[in-house]
A = this chain, B = another copy of it.
Amino acid sequence: MNLQEGKEKFIQTWGTLGSNWGISRTMAQIHALLLISPKVLSTEEIMEELQISRGNTNMNVRALMDWGLVFKEFKTGERREFFFAEKDMWKVAMQIVKERRKRELDPLVGTISDLQQVKDSSEAGKQFETTVADLNKVIGKADKTIDLLIRADENWFMNNFLKLLTK
């Protein structure tokens, strides 16, 4: 496999993976392209490389910046914007985890508290309460584990401790 084939396969694979996880295929493909690019890319270059429209490129690049995975660079004497991705894959993974927690786990915690207000003594009511309470426990556990991971990432000692565990 040569570099060109490898790049295409990587972009394709990352795109499929993204769409399995509720992220648009194009957004993941732009991310893949920037991950393997040694230099910053303009909108025009992204359009050209992935054969997609200007509007599509613009919307998805902005979404990637919202996710904190892609950044702008301004070049002196150039009016255009250039884009580059965070290249450290561990940081990328942590950033995705953080964002999904913010966007999904946090709102879920609110909903669960609402659902815990339901009181009903029927059998259906009891099963409902049990399921909701159990779900709440698991969410709490997930939340704490994510905290631990993020803190480990930002903390040398923890990081090394976790590496020991997961070696």
Contact = CB atoms under 8 A, between A and B. Distances in A.
A125 B3 contact: yes
A92 to B, nearest CB: 8
Number of copies: 2
B148 A166 contact: yes
Nearest to A141: B166
A81 interface: no
Chain A contact residues: over half helix, strand or loop, or mixed? helix
A155 interface: no
Interface in A136-163: 137-138, 141-142, 144-145, 148
A111 B141 contact: no
A134 B22 contact: no
A4 to B, nearest CB: 9
19 contacts: A1-B114, A3-B120, A3-B125, A6-B120, A6-B132, A10-B128, A13-B111, A21-B21, A21-B22, A22-B22, A36-B127, A36-B131, A37-B127, A38-B126, A87-B131, A88-B134, A89-B131, A141-B166, A145-B166
A104 B20 contact: yes
Interface of A: 1-3, 5-7, 9-10, 13, 17, 19-22, 35-39, 87-90, 92-93, 104, 108, 111, 114-115, 117-118, 120, 122-128, 130-132, 134-135, 137-138, 141-142, 144-145, 148, 165-167
